[in-house]
Amino acid sequence: MANRNVPIPRRQLYIGGEWREPVKKNRIPIINPATEEIIGDIPAATAEDVDIAVEAARKAIARDDWGSTTGAKRAKYLRAIAAKVLEKKSVLATLESLDSGKTLFESAADMDDVAGCFEYYADLAEALDSRRKIPVNLNSDSFKTYVLREPLGVVGLITPWNYPLLMAIWKVAPALAAGCAAILKPSELASITCLELGEICREIGLPSGALNILTGLGPEAGGPLASHPHVDKISFTGSGPTGSKIMTAAAQLVKPVSLELGGKSPIVVFDDIDNLDIAAEWTLFGIFANTGQVCSATSRLIVQESIASAFLDRLLKWTKNIKISDPLEEDCKLGPVVSAGQYEKVLKFISNAKSEGATILYGGKRPQHLKKGYYVQPTIITDVNTSMEIWKEEVFGPVLCVKTFKTEEEAIELANDTKYGLAAAVMSKDVRRCERFTKAFQSGIIWINCSQPTFNQLPWGGKKRSGFGRDLGEWGLENFLNIKQVTEYTSAEPWAFYKSPSKN
């Protein structure tokens, strides 16, 4: 077992490069979901702190040490942050697990991804210097034109608890690479590592106000950020209902938003797969990794009838083999869900499925051997129909629902039978069929013969109720840039639209 005695730092809000007590001095307890114990507390920002942070961010943009930096200079800061994350990886990973219930293996992988994301955007920041000013040839003797890419300004980044630091960094890294000044509002359910990012920024000497970190409750800290007149954009990852509220607040000021919301993604398994075990493991990973608390979790298995019984049999064998334990234990593969509220919500989805007539093929309860903590067994639900809640709604927990199909057309119809459109997976060795599914799936992310692998270079986001805009890749950087066209009249001749008074 990893050292659970890693001390939880007692931090304040990170504003203008300094630790600053919230104006109202309120704090929120930190709960370890594996033990249900309070292990520390975080500061709770309110509108007053948001005003101070926005002011600090605006000053950073006006100052030469941030507002006039080149991409190459910003890349140095981003690389320094990445190096510090790797240096502190073991402590950061432990803190992430203590706070969110994520297995230590997954927390450590997240810290590698966090460092990789900063490094990736460091490269893009450098490349931005040569793309900052692009001439556009009009074939005109009278006009010279060019297009500028500039930082968008002060941006608000509001993020969820499922990958507490990684989801924040998907926004922080491109925002800083672009030269924006950012205000990060992580989830009140898991904020420790985002506050530690503040300490890292302080240590590497990031110019003050370039990144500000306000922990606190959604309506009290996130709300005032979304509606602040001097915040130029909100980039949000979280639930649909909160996304709607943020869009409504931003709409009053015609403030741009990008929304990465939830999903109910399908995984379609055909009977032509060579290896049931490989398909079973990807199916498992698609729903039980991070205890199912993944926006892109492939939570609806759509399996061809001819192999359904053999495939479910294999899935059960793999599922029974998952080690459920304290997330800091060696080889733990399924930790608790993040909070008491999430635990109740997941169990309610399971009991509703049962009352609607579905069969709990496996799991559905708290594991017998764990008396404390918000643990739910990995759960597989069959006899599902398309009007059931379990088919339609995002559970955000370790719950897979299963339907069978006979024909390809039926599989496509079932896959797209959702209000969401984040991700979709197909398992088949028929290349043409995979191409047909790639085209037919109504989503922003397609996985072929796998589920969940994610790369910094590729755009991340969805359609339908899964939101709009893209994180990651060059699209993630464009989110934080203002495009400005410049048109210069270069002719010595008069414009000659009006009659010249000198010719009267």
Ligand X SMILES: C[N+](C)(C)CCCC=O
* Interface residues toward ligand X, by CB under 6 A: 162-163, 294-296, 452, 454
The pattern of x and - marking residues 182 through 201 that bind Na ion according to CB under 5 A reads --------x-----------
- Which of the listed partners (Na ion, ligand NAD, ligand X, none) does 352 bind, with a CB threshold of 5 to 8 Å by partner kind? none
First-to-final CA distance of the chain = 94
Based on CB atoms, which residue is closest to ligand NAD, 79 or 245? 245
The correct pick among 110, 119, 196, 394 for binding ligand NAD (CB under 6 A) is: 394
The least distance separating Na ion from the CB of residue 200, rounded to whole angstroms, comes to 20
Based on CB atoms, which residue is closest to ligand NAD, 179 or 263? 263
Q: Which residue blocks in 132-191 are alpha helix, DSSP H?
A: 164-178
Contact range with ligand NAD by CB under 6 A, out of 86-94, 200-208, 221-229, 317-325: 221-229
Residue in 96, 106, 119, 260 annotated catalytic: 260
Contact range with ligand NAD by CB under 6 A, out of 39-47, 186-194, 273-281, 428-436: 186-194
What residues from 27 to 56 belong to the interface with Na ion (CB under 5 A)? 31
List, in order, residues 6 or more apart from 188 with CB less than 8 Å away: 28, 42, 44, 215, 216, 217, 218
The correct pick among 185, 300, 333, 366 for binding ligand NAD (CB under 6 A) is: 185
The correct pick among 172, 181, 261, 376 for binding ligand NAD (CB under 6 A) is: 261
Q: What is the DSSP secondary structure assignment for residue 138, as one 8-state letter? A: -
Count of CA atoms in the C-beta half-sphere (13 A) of 53:
35
159 binds ligand NAD (CB under 6 A): yes
Q: With helix as H, strand as E and coil as C, how does 23-92 read?
A: CCCCEEEEEECCCCEEEEEEECCCHHHHHHHHHHHHHHHHCHHHHCCCHHHHHHHHHHHHHHHHHCHHHH
Distance CA 216, CA 41 (A): 11
Based on CB atoms, which residue is closest to Na ion, 61 or 98? 98
99 binds Na ion (CB under 5 A): yes
Whether 260 is a known active-site residue: answer yes
Burial class (CB in 10 A: 0-12, 13-18, 19+), 405: buried
Looking at residue 144, its amino acid is K
The least distance separating ligand NAD from the CB of residue 187, rounded to whole angstroms, comes to 4
Kindly list the distances between the CA atom of residue 177 and the CA atoms of 34, 71, 471, 472, 479, in Å, as whole numbers in the listed order: 36, 7, 13, 12, 11
- Which of the listed partners (ligand NAD, Na ion, ligand X, none) does 187 bind, with a CB threshold of 5 to 8 Å by partner kind? ligand NAD
Kindly list the distances between the CA atom of residue 446 and the CA atoms of 56, 123, 173, 239, 369, in Å, as whole numbers in the listed order: 41, 26, 24, 21, 37
Distance CA 405, CA 303 (A): 6
- Which of the listed partners (Na ion, ligand X, ligand NAD, none) does 99 bind, with a CB threshold of 5 to 8 Å by partner kind? Na ion
Kindly determine how many residues on this chain lie close enough to bind ligand NAD according to the rule CB under 6 A.
29
Looking at residue 289, its amino acid is A
404 binds ligand NAD (CB under 6 A): no
The DSSP result for 264-308, as a single string, is -EEEEE-TT-S-HHHHHHHHHHHHHGGGG--TT-EEEEEEEHHHH
Residues in touch with ligand NAD (CB under 6 A): 158-162, 167, 185-188, 218-219, 222-223, 226, 237-239, 242, 245-246, 260-263, 295, 394, 396, 422
Residues in touch with Na ion (CB under 5 A): 31, 99, 190
Q: List, by residue number, the catalytic residues.
A: 260
